[in-house]
Amino acid sequence: MEREPGAAGARRALGRRLEAVLASRSEANAVFDILAVLQSEDQEEIQEAVRTCSRLFGALLERGELFVGQLPSEEMVMTGSRGAMRKYKVWMRHRYHSCCNRLGELLGHPSFQVKELALGTLMKFVQLEGVHPLEKPKWEGNYLFPQDLFKLVVGGLLSPEEDQSLLLSQFREYLDHDDIRYHTMRAAVDTVARVTGQYPEVPPTFWNNTFMLLSAVSLPRQEPTASSFYVKRTELSDTWKVAHLKEHRKAFQAMWLNFLKHKLPLSLYKKVLVIVHDAILPQLAQPTLMIDFLTRACDLGGALSLLALNGLFILIHKHNLEYPDFYRKLYGLLDPSVFHVKYRARFFHLADLFLSSSHLPAYLVAAFAKRLARLALTAPPEALLMVLPFICNLLRRHPACRVLVHRPHGPELDADPYDPGEEDPAQSRALESSLWELQALQRHYHPEVSKAASVINQALSVPEVSIAPLLELTAYEIFERDLKKKGPEPVPLEFLPAQGLLGRPGDVCAQHFTLS
């Protein structure tokens, strides 16, 4: 066989072979040539071959020239003395099978175009196979879906080696169809089980790919009136599992639980926890099953704990979960770094949410207020401007805690009874203490902080101060605000004349620094 140079030549040659194969069954051996090109190194050629395969097998599937039913082995059929037509069909089915396998491999090809094309072709085959099933229906109206083929697709998508995020975002549009979504969830479970069994140390890319796929799956909120199927069906049946949201939910739950029961990398924990409260929990059949995962995440510390607490809070709040250590864990999260981390706004938003109930015991709220006040002694002004109203809000919500700022005839104490080292808020003796920290902060150098801390000097006003606009406050914003504020005219000036850059000999700078 002559080979013409270049992609155009290849295309022409492939086209000729395709026509030959489709025209007469005697030319069927040309399929090998086409399949051989699929193994090529050249990207262009592969694309051409994939397109040719797509057309070829698409046509064969439509014509029904592929063997239907349990596929016997090739040698057995060839040696057997069945009809030539059956032999041809079985043989062609084997070619189709190898073609699909090759396409599955191509999903891991370095070139994105090839990947995309392979995915498209495979999905086309899935569609065609759904319409013209390659297995015999067991009974009338039996729901048939090319599950093996689809598993191949999902397996290719969840590659352990390669980052498939682009391809997955392509795949996302197929997930709008109910059947694809359902089978994806089931296939994902299989794939995860297979891969984790296969590798002793699962590579993080696999987890990332899996997470991408899983997070792309979103169930409809209520039972859809008209289900949309990727595989065109002539008549729909109520007996099909794929048509019920309940089954979807079950599949969804199985998928996530199977995924989360494995040991995931920390970054992935974070990603999962960020979406857990609004994308995963509401769609599970039994949300309380997530508790294992959440408690595990809770022990990790830092931002993860906080996010896990958010999930737990939803379980407690909406699903009646009993979790006695919740506030203790939240209390444990309060350490000096909380004012300096990036997720500060989220933390305090959630903390505000968690502590919004007016039915919390006074000792608990007092412990939180005292702890926050203690931590405020190390906080920068932008955090102080937020946390001071936060503390005052706590006191407003819980009048029993007002003794922290107003204890008219209390005895004078030698030391603060509050125990900062105690982990249990109940044992911290915060209610016996007072918020002296706020009194200290009244002498803070920034005027607004000083004012915010001075609120406790008067009886607290009734309405709470909304801290939502203060959550995202940054030092730069404070700086800009201070710069723009109109001051007294004229600007007050230093009346002592300057005595050099470092000031007078007695000044701090001059004591410790020299210019030379």
Partner 1 sequence: MGKAKKVKARRKPSGAPAGARGGPAKASSNPFEVKVNRQKFQILGRKTRHDVGLPGVSRARALRKRTQTLLKEYKERDKSNVFRDKRFGEYNSSMTPEEKMMKRFALEQQRHHEKKSIYNLNEDEELTHYGQSLADIEKHNDIVDSDSDAEDRGVLSAELTAAHFGGGGELLHKKTPQEGEEQEKPKSRKELIEELIAKSKQEKRERQAQREDALELTEKLDQDWKEIQTLLSHKTPKSENRDKKEKPKPDAYDMMVRELGFEMKAQPSSRMKTEAELAKEEQERLRKLEAERLRRMLGKDEDEDIKKPKHTSADDLSDGFVLDKDDRRLLSYKDGKMNVEENVLDEEEEEQSKEAGDTESNEEEGDSSGREDTEESDSPDSHLDLESNTESEEENQEPAKEQRQTPGNGLLGRQERAGKAARDELPYTFAAPESYEELRALLLGRSLEEQLLVVERIQKCTHPSLAEGNKAKLEKLFGFLLEYVGDLAANDPPDLRVIDKLVVRQLYHLCQMFPASASEAVKFVLRDAMHEMEEMIEAKGRTPLPGLGVLIYLKITGLLFPTSDFWHPVVTPALVCLSQLLTKCPILSLQDAVKGLFACCLFLEYVALSQRFIPELINFLLGILYIATPNKASQGSTLVHPFRALGKNSELLVVSDKEDAATWQPSRLSLRWASGLRVPTSTEANHIRLSCLAVGLALLKRCVLMYGALPSFHAIAAPLRALLVDHLAECSHPRELQELCQSTLTEMDSQKQLCRPLTCEKSRPVPLKLFTPRLVKVLEFGRKQGSTKEEQERKRLIHKHKREFKGAVREIRKDNQFLARMQLSEIMERDAERKRKVKQLFNSLATQEGEWKALKRKKFKK
503: left (phi over 0), alpha (psi -120 to 50) or beta: left
The stretches of 132-177 forming alpha helices (DSSP H) are 147-157, 165-171
Which one among 24, 81, 234, 514 touches partner 1, defined by CB under 8 A? 514
Site for partner 1 contains 82 (CB under 8 A): no
The DSSP code sequence of 75-137 is HHHHHS---HHHHHHHHHHHHHHHHHHHHHHHTT-S-HHHHHHHHHHHHHHHHHHHHS-SS--
Least distance (Å) between residue 384 CB and partner 1: 8
For partner 1, the binding residues in 461-480 under the rule CB under 8 A are 474-476, 478-480
Which one among 60, 444, 452, 470 touches partner 1, defined by CB under 8 A? 444
Which one among 405, 430, 431, 473 touches partner 1, defined by CB under 8 A? 405
Site for partner 1 contains 450 (CB under 8 A): yes
Least distance (Å) between residue 408 CB and partner 1: 5
Which one among 3, 232, 359, 443 touches partner 1, defined by CB under 8 A? 443
Site for partner 1 contains 139 (CB under 8 A): no
Which one among 53, 276, 441, 470 touches partner 1, defined by CB under 8 A? 441
Site for partner 1 contains 457 (CB under 8 A): yes
Stretch near partner 1 under the rule CB under 8 A, chosen from 130-138, 189-197, 220-228, 456-464:
456-464
Least distance (Å) between residue 415 CB and partner 1: 6
- Rounded to whole angstroms, the Cα distance separating 105 from 159 reads 10
Least distance (Å) between residue 303 CB and partner 1: 14
Site for partner 1 contains 374 (CB under 8 A): yes
Site for partner 1 contains 377 (CB under 8 A): yes
Which one among 335, 423, 424, 472 touches partner 1, defined by CB under 8 A? 335
221 or 443: CB nearest partner 1: 443
What type of residue sits at position 515?
A: L
Q: Whose CA is closest to 392, among 369, 375, 426, 371?
A: 369
For partner 1, the binding residues in 380-399 under the rule CB under 8 A are 380-381, 384
137 or 420: CB nearest partner 1: 420
The DSSP code sequence of 333-358 is H--GGGGTSTTHHHHHHHHHHHTT-T
Stretch near partner 1 under the rule CB under 8 A, chosen from 38-46, 70-78, 140-148, 439-447:
439-447
Stretch near partner 1 under the rule CB under 8 A, chosen from 110-118, 119-127, 165-173, 337-345:
337-345
Site for partner 1 (CB under 8 A): how many residues? 82
Site for partner 1 contains 142 (CB under 8 A): no
Stretch near partner 1 under the rule CB under 8 A, chosen from 189-197, 211-219, 288-296, 443-451:
443-451
Q: For residue 216, what are its two tokens?
A: 């792309």
Q: 152 near 98, Cβ under 8 Å? A: no
Which one among 1, 23, 462, 501 touches partner 1, defined by CB under 8 A? 501
Least distance (Å) between residue 168 CB and partner 1: 28
61 or 386: CB nearest partner 1: 386
Beta-carbon count within 10 A of 430 CB: 30
Q: Whose CA is closest to 286, among 326, 323, 244, 315?
A: 315
Which one among 340, 356, 357, 466 touches partner 1, defined by CB under 8 A? 340
- Rounded to whole angstroms, the Cα distance separating 434 from 436 reads 6
Site for partner 1 contains 378 (CB under 8 A): yes
Q: How many degrees, rounded to 5, is the angle at CA 190 between CA 117 and CA 275?
A: 80
Contacts with 13 (C-beta within 8 Å, 6 or more apart), sequence order: 1, 3, 4
Contact track, partner 1, 412-431, x by CB under 8 A: xxxxx---x-----------
Site for partner 1 contains 141 (CB under 8 A): no
109 or 444: CB nearest partner 1: 444
- Rounded to whole angstroms, the Cα distance separating 465 from 389 reads 7
Q: 102 near 36, Cβ under 8 Å? A: no
How many angstroms separate the Cα of 59 from the Cα of each of 56, 62, 121, 334? 5, 5, 13, 66
Site for partner 1 contains 84 (CB under 8 A): no
227 or 450: CB nearest partner 1: 450
What are φ and ψ of residue 355, in 5° steps?
Answer: -95, 15
What type of residue sits at position 374?
A: R
Site for partner 1 contains 267 (CB under 8 A): no
Site for partner 1 contains 494 (CB under 8 A): yes
42 or 477: CB nearest partner 1: 477
Q: 219 near 284, Cβ under 8 Å? A: no
Q: For residue 127, what are its two tokens?
A: 């569609």
* Distance in angstroms between the alpha carbons of the first and the last residue of the chain: 87
How many angstroms separate the Cα of 338 from the Cα of each of 275, 341, 376, 430, 475? 22, 6, 10, 20, 16
Least distance (Å) between residue 376 CB and partner 1: 8
Least distance (Å) between residue 329 CB and partner 1: 17
Question: Judging by beta carbons within 10 Å of its beta carbon (0-12, 13-18, 19+), is residue 382 exposed, middle or buried?
Answer: buried
Least distance (Å) between residue 240 CB and partner 1: 51
Least distance (Å) between residue 263 CB and partner 1: 24
